[in-house]
Amino acid sequence: MKKILSLITVILVTVFALAYALWDVDIAELGSLLSGGNYWLLVPFLGLLVLFYWMKALRWVFILRPVGKFTTSEVTPSMVIGFAANNVLPAHLGELVRIAIFSHRYGKPVSSIAITLLVERIFDLVAILSLYALAMVTITTPPASLEIGAWFITLLLAVFFASIGVVLYKPSLVLNMGNRIGAFLPERFQHRLTSTLENIIHAFSSLRSPKLVAAMTVWSLLKWLLMGGMIWISLYAYGTEISPAISLVLMAVLALAAAVPNAPGYIGAIQAAYVFALKPFGIAEEAAFAASIFFLVCQWLPVTVAGAFYFIAGGLHVGEVRKEIEGVEKLESPGTE
């Protein structure tokens, strides 16, 4: 039943997103834009995409330190396979694929690998929100709808940094607070909460150096600046020039859209994010939609092909991976003791 509800949610979200993105689009104008695009820009786009994933792999190596010492060549296959799986499977199932393959290949606990992905998401979120806030400051007359979000994001960033500081330097306080909250929960949830908090503290243990945390934050900022560059290229391919700040605003909206249950490859979510973020800046819906197709296809194809290559080269089989994923799902179930 849970899977059916998840599938229904994905379908509804995708249909709504595509309907919103296409509502005011002139199909004839959209076709004209797509046929006249500058597709030579695919070359720099792919260059930025390769750098983006290389930086992502290198950062994961650092985050994995409490689990073991790995190289970028060791973490890249499972990481790329996971993102490729997100391109063909709904509802972020690629995350489970990534966890299952990596933990099985190197004999590491599933829970430990899952927590490193949580740490990764925290750094990503901090970087994306920081770049969004910076972009809004540099825009002379930001749209009111996006300006309100900037104030909320600034507050959210302060909470994030404070929380990370407590986890890094006052882990006992975190566990004590967890135990107090757990006292009001059923026993199986108490165990799960304590275990999760311990794993989070362990995952952050290698980051207690302020210099390392600062370096990881800067690394994350640079990584997402590359994504902003890819967004800029996607619009420039159809003759639309936007400022770097607007690219970063769109990047933040894309990240938010990708967080909800989505169809494979984030189809619909990407289109809606482009139209929603660019419309207040006077960008025509047709140009926004065309750019969203460029962005979707030009990152979907290479990532999916690379993931398929690593999957085959690693001697993996769909049936075996499915069993591993089922094991991960059981461990992540709240009812699991």
Tell me the per-residue pLDDT of 81-104, one tens digit each, with 9 for 90 and over.
999 999 988 767 888 899 989 988
Query: Is residue 337's pLDDT more than 70?
Result: no
140 in a domain, yes or no?
yes
E strand or H helix at 105: helix 93-106
227 in a domain, yes or no?
yes
Residues 6 or more apart whose CB falls under 8 angstroms from that of 111 comprise 195, 199, 331
**CA distances (Å), 29 to each of 2, 34, 41, 121, 303, in order?**
41, 9, 21, 38, 29
Query: Is residue 191's pLDDT more than 80?
Result: no
SS3 content of the chain, % helix, strand, coil (to 5): 80, 0, 20
N- to C-terminal Cα separation, the chain: 21
Q: Label residue 335 by pLDDT band (50, 70, 90).
A: very low
Query: Is residue 328's pLDDT more than 80?
Result: no
Query: Is residue 27's pLDDT more than 60?
Result: yes
Tell me the per-residue pLDDT of 197-242, one tens digit each, with 9 for 90 and over.
777 777 676 667 777 778 888 889 999 999 999 999 999 999 999 9
Res 263: pLDDT:
83
337 in a domain, yes or no?
no
E strand or H helix at 202: helix 187-204
Tell me the per-residue pLDDT of 234-289, one tens digit each, with 9 for 90 and over.
999 999 999 999 999 999 899 888 888 778 888 999 999 999 999 988 899 999 99
Q: Which domain holds residue 215?
A: 2-332
Tell me the per-residue pLDDT of 131-146, one tens digit each, with 9 for 90 and over.
988 888 888 777 766 6
Pairwise CA distance, residues 109 & 205, whole Å: 17
Res 242: pLDDT:
92
Backbone φ and ψ of 38, nearest 5°: -90, 90
In 205-278, which residue ranges form alpha helices assigned H by DSSP? 210-236, 244-259, 269-278
Which among 251, 198, 241 is positioned nearest to 221, based on CA atoms?
251
Query: Is residue 10's pLDDT more than 70?
Result: yes
Based on the structure, what is the number of domains in the chain?
1
pTM, 2 dp: 0.85
166's tokens = 């407590």
